[in-house]
Amino acid sequence: MIIFFNYLIKNIGVTLVKKKYFILPSSIIIIAFIATSCKKELPTFVLVPPSDQLLQYSGRFHFNNDSSTAKFAWTGSTINATFRGTSCKVLLKDHVFIKDGYGKPQANYFYVFLDDNFPQLLRATPDSLIYTIAENLPDTTHTLKLYRRTEGATGSTSFLGLRLDTGRHLVPHDPLPSRRIEFIGNSITCGYGNEGDSARCKYSSLTQNGYMTYSAITARNLSAEYRAVAFSGMGIYRNYSDAIRYTMTEMYDFVYPQNDSICWDFNQWQPHAVVINLATNDFAKGNPERQYFVESYFNLLEKIHAYYPNTTVFCLGSPMMSDSYPRRRKARSTAKSFIEEAMDKMKQKGIENIYYYGLSEQFNKVLGCDFHPNVVQHQRNAAELTAFIEEKMEW
């Protein structure tokens, strides 16, 4: 008993007076011990884990073994939820290790749409985890959309769940649109520099708005679910870096671009239309060999047909390519002839639902960072592409 009481003195705070022990009855000692050990604060929130069946995902997400995290990276990846209560927080772990054109650390940016109001801009950083989305709301039902503005090249993000008011929960969200479109592309489809103020500004993830790209706008115009697999610098045969490994033909299979060992299950989602906007980087430093480009483009078309046997494919001419500069290469018309040759090879196999469309060229007044299209050019290209897809798809 003396030994046990000494333990209580040291660990629970029973005091000594005049070096004499106050011996308490064992029943009191046990009650005191239990009362101390059970003193816990009640939780002030409810955690909605990524595995909650009422969360709605649009895009490619990789769930870890216990579904406690959902990792993603592609532009336009979206998490939707409808909840009851007065507040909401989102848990994100960002994995970004790159710098912008000015040498400053980068971050992923998200649009947060609450109750379909004008979006808030959320900047995720590697040293933060919990982000307050809303507080002091009316105690009713609210909708939330978390939309990734930045591209996979900026880094991946892990979604760890939502925090709601104690005793509150999710309710079913409105269904996603029945039409589905997937865009495959490079920096143009990502929205690289589209919010930049001139062609001379350098890349920053803050000036990249994937929500305001020609691709995302086209999908909204057509009331279609939007997904993009796009990465700056990607080509069909060779990338902007001249590398012929990890072109978009390979990267297209990945759940997210930072891990080539996790492949996407294409049976999960079948689009009605796939739109390809590639070739800009293949031609950036000189025209590629026709044979190699055509073969690579044909391989991607074959892959798409294998994954989506019933989809319609649209092959685009890039707004950044021109015959006037550099004039001797005639990059725009040359790329068009290469792409159409690959399309013809598919048609020879009996695949007829494939079309070419040349997006209108950008001009000096509509340039974003590093001579990329700005939002005005994206809107112009979206309007013309919307009309073309509507006609061919009879939407």
Is residue 217 a contact partner of residue 359, using CB atoms and an 8 Å limit?
Answer: no
Residues 135 and 267 occupy one common structural domain: no
pLDDT of 75: 98
pLDDT in tens, the chain (395 residues): 434 334 333 333 333 333 333 333 333 333 333 333 444 555 689 999 999 999 999 999 999 999 999 999 999 999 999 999 999 999 999 999 889 999 999 999 999 999 989 999 999 999 999 999 999 999 999 999 999 999 999 999 999 999 999 999 999 999 999 999 999 999 999 999 999 999 999 989 999 999 999 999 999 999 999 999 999 999 999 999 999 999 999 999 999 999 999 999 999 999 999 999 999 999 999 999 999 999 999 999 999 999 999 999 999 999 999 999 888 999 999 999 999 999 999 999 999 999 999 999 998 888 999 999 999 999 999 999 999 999 999 99
Closest CA to 148 of 220, 232, 57, 218: 57
Residues 163 and 255 occupy one common structural domain: no
Buried b (16+ CB within 10 A) or exposed e, 378-389: bbbbbeebbebb
Residues 133 and 233 occupy one common structural domain: no
Report the alpha-carbon distance of residue 109 to residue 91 in Å, rounded. 14
DSSP-assigned letter for residue 268: G
Report the alpha-carbon distance of residue 170 to residue 177 in Å, rounded. 20
pLDDT of 366: 86
Q: Which domain holds residue 9?
A: 2-37
Report the alpha-carbon distance of residue 382 to residue 194 in Å, rounded. 14
Report the alpha-carbon distance of residue 390 to residue 344 in Å, rounded. 23
CATH number, domain of 55, equals 2.60.120.260
Closest CA to 255 of 99, 72, 119: 72
Count how many domains the chain has: 3
Q: If residue 248 lies in a helix (H) or strand (E), which one and from where to where?
A: helix 248-251
Residues 236 and 367 occupy one common structural domain: yes
Residues 385 and 357 occupy one common structural domain: yes
Look-up: residue for tokens 């995302």? 216
Report the alpha-carbon distance of residue 342 to residue 337 in Å, rounded. 9
Residues 240 and 332 occupy one common structural domain: yes
Report the alpha-carbon distance of residue 394 to residue 53 in Å, rounded. 34
Closest CA to 59 of 46, 42, 76, 34: 76
Residues 133 and 223 occupy one common structural domain: no
Report the alpha-carbon distance of residue 157 to residue 148 in Å, rounded. 10
